[in-house]
């Protein structure tokens, strides 16, 4: 699908990788309908033209928010949905509040599932359509400190994989984008310290946005970013428990900084 053919519903479009995605999609000629809990963000000083052509203010954790976005997407004649909204979670499991676990699973997993379900009747009527779930390498590699966040993204990957197979033969293509850690406000200072201590690389949001465009334009079902993360995703699927000792420095840092 060419950029000029895309009419994209983009959740989480107000900041971080979502904003970078909106800008890259717009530059490729796509029309973008942004979705966020707040009002449409102002255009960046470096790019005064607003990349989001329309905006829906909605809380996707609520049923009425999902219905509002589904209605707007249908009227927008959307043929692409990018689930980029998410909540972070980092820290030792023993110190993670239950309320935070519930919020992360609701936003990162249940909300995209519900919105996809609501949009499927419309998407199946389009000559061609795509749904992209923005997952994470952490959803395929169990890293200490990211048990809750990784669980939400692992669930999202499983949902996308099953749905991709369920919709094979229809006009709707289901895809997964798996970024690694990214330099945005999504990651707090504790995560940045963790990444520095463990030698974990962080990508610029523009790199993730470019990968999204390549995924939409191409025929692959999944795209993971970064090395050694791409290799680790494959090895983790093949070797599993054999890799457990490879995360000793991650575990030690977490034990020294549990919260």
With CA atoms as reference, report the closest residue to 13 among 44, 37, 30.
37
Amino acid 233: pLDDT: 63
Most confident of 45-54, 72-81, 129-138, 179-188: 72-81
- Tell me the pLDDT band of 207, cut-offs 50, 70 and 90: very high
The answer, yes or no, to whether residue 118 has pLDDT greater than 70, is: yes
pLDDT digits (tens, 9 = 90+) for 129-161: 999 999 988 777 778 888 999 999 999 999 999
Q: In what order do the strands lie in the sheet with 7-11?
A: 54-57, 31-36, 7-11, 80-83, 129-134, 172-178, 222-224
Residue bearing the bigger pLDDT, 15 or 213: 213
Q: What is the average pLDDT across 116-128?
A: 97
What are the backbone angles phi and psi of residue 37, rounded to the nearest 5°? -75, -25
pLDDT value of residue 242: 46
pTM to 2 decimal places: 0.85
SS3 readout for the chain: CCHHHCEEEEECCCCHHHHHHHHHHHHCCCEEEEEECCCCCCCCCCCCCCCCCEEEECCCCCHHHHHHHHHHHHHHCCCEEEECCCCCCCCCHHHCCHHHHHHHHHHHHHHHHHHHHHHHHHHCCCCCEEEEEECCHHHCCCCCCCHHHHHHHHHHHHHHHHHHHHCCCCCEEEEEEECCCECCCCCCHHHHHHHHHHCCCCECHHHHHHHHHHHHHCCCCEEECCCCHHHHHHHHHHHHHHHHHHHHHHHHHHHHCCC
Range of the domain at 179: 3-256
Distance of CA 106 to the CA centre of its chain: 14
Mean pLDDT of all residues in 90-113: 95
Residue 127 reports pLDDT greater than 70: yes
Domain tally, the chain: 1
CATH number of the domain within which 49 lies: 3.40.50.720
Mean pLDDT for all residues in the chain: 86
Cis amide prior to 127 (ω within 30 degrees): no
């Amino acid at each position: 699908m060419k950029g000029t053919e895309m009419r994209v519903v983009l959740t989480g479009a107000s900041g971080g990788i979502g904003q970078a995605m909106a800008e890259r999609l717009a530059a490729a000629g796509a029309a973008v309908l942004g979705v966020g809990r707040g009002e449409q963000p102002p255009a960046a000083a470096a790019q005064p033209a607003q990349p989001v052509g329309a905006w829906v203010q909605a809380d996707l954790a609520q049923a009425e928010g999902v219905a509002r976005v589904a209605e707007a997407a249908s009227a927008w004649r959307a043929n692409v949905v990018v689930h980029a909204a998410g909540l972070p979670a980092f820290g030792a499991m023993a110190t993670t509040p239950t309320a935070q676990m519930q919020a992360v699973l609701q936003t990162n997993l249940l909300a995209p599932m519900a919105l996809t379900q609501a949009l499927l009747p419309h998407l199946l009527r389009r000559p061609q359509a795509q749904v992209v779930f923005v997952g994470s390498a952490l959803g395929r590699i169990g890293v200490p400190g990211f048990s809750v966040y990784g669980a939400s993204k692992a669930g999202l990957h499983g949902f996308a994989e099953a749905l991709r197979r369920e919709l094979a033969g229809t006009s709707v293509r289901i895809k997964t984008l798996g970024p690694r850690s990214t330099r945005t406000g999504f990651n707090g200072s504790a995560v940045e310290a963790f990444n520095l201590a463990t030698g974990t690389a962080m990508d610029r949001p523009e790199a993730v946005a470019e990968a999204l465009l390549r995924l939409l334009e191409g025929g692959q079902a999944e795209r993971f970013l970064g090395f050694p993360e791409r290799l680790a995703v494959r090895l983790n699927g093949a070797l599993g428990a054999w890799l457990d000792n490879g995360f000793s420095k991650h575990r030690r840092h977490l034990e020294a900084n549990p919260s």
